[in-house]
Chain A
């Protein structure tokens, strides 16, 4: 998903899944999508904090608040990232307020004008979030490349961790999309079994080497 409209839809998709309350992976997916970008933006806007961990804590608080109370987010008012940023900023300022009076706290400067940040082009924030999320996914794929040397197997693994379920996508990745549907299913299953074996072998070899 890359266009602003796609990003908006992605945020709404996460929101609906969070509201359902029964989705086991959405917390993890939302964290991968938004948390690193949130931390980065807060660090950039608050570069002089006495304790850099305050940023991580505030970002975690904002994300966990969203997961526990998705009904507080109104998709019609802002993008999901903007909402998370403002929750995190508020947590951060509150935690700084608790320590008010110490010389270090008085030096805290927020570089961007808050109103400007609020009106920040959704496109810019979304582009940055997308970039960071893609970099992270690329890092994981790079590590998987060391385990799966066959490009077809790697493509199947990537589809699996990207949460793609349609057999047609796997058939496409394996280059068998032109085969009859039954055959596609068999070939996809075979590829998935091969992947399990590769992972199992890697584990056994590591165990032996220990």
Chain B
């Protein structure tokens, strides 16, 4: 089996895990979608090789609420040569926007429609995610970010 075949097998698994919020694949796919970024651009943003982004995608996702969040991010960064500060930033952005999306959905259900506060927050986030309140937490398989 060649290197490319092995990489294809691992990339296939990473693609499947885009729908599983427990994995980094899901967070990275959400970030790419928010930023309209290609896989190579994401690797560049993390200062690492695309092959090591596949490795990163197959790792479990640290939770920002975890008391050891910084240590966990450093661990992933070490294992994948990624820049730890950028990786932490990506996770925080994805989590914040997912949390916002969930909150808006919850308040929308409670009040039977969107609250004003929810509208304001969504407006602020809308330049990053579109549409916020109808997006699943992770992109579906085959979804590709829009590129200008």
Contact = CB atoms under 8 A, between A and B. Distances in A.
B137 interface: no
A31 B55 CA distance: 9
Given A27-B59, A28-B79, A200 B47 contact: yes
B13 A63 contact: yes
A28 B55 contact: yes
Interface residues of A, number: 37
B1 A24 contact: no
Contact of B6 (A28, A60, A139): A139
A140 B49 contact: yes
B62 A24 contact: yes
Contacts of A161: 52, 79-81
B56 A203 contact: no
Majority-rule SS of B interface residues: helix
Interface in B1-56: 1-3, 5-7, 9-10, 12-13, 16, 23, 44-45, 47-49, 51-52, 55-56
Interface stretch (B70-78, B93-101, B106-114, B119-127): B70-78
Contacts of B79: 25, 28, 160-161, 163
Contacts, number: 97
A51 to B, nearest CB: 14
B67 to A, nearest CB: 12
B10 A36 contact: yes
Given A35-B9, A163-B79, A24 B44 contact: no
Interface residues on B, range: 35 or more
B13 A60 contact: yes
A24 B59 contact: yes
Contact of B58 (A27, A40, A202): A27
A28 B44 contact: no
B60 interface: yes
Contacts of A56: 9, 12
A143 B40 CA distance: 14
A157 interface: yes
B56 to A, nearest CB: 7
Closest 9 CB pairs of A and B: A139-B3, A28-B58, A36-B6, A199-B47, A136-B6, A24-B60, A203-B47, A28-B59, A40-B1
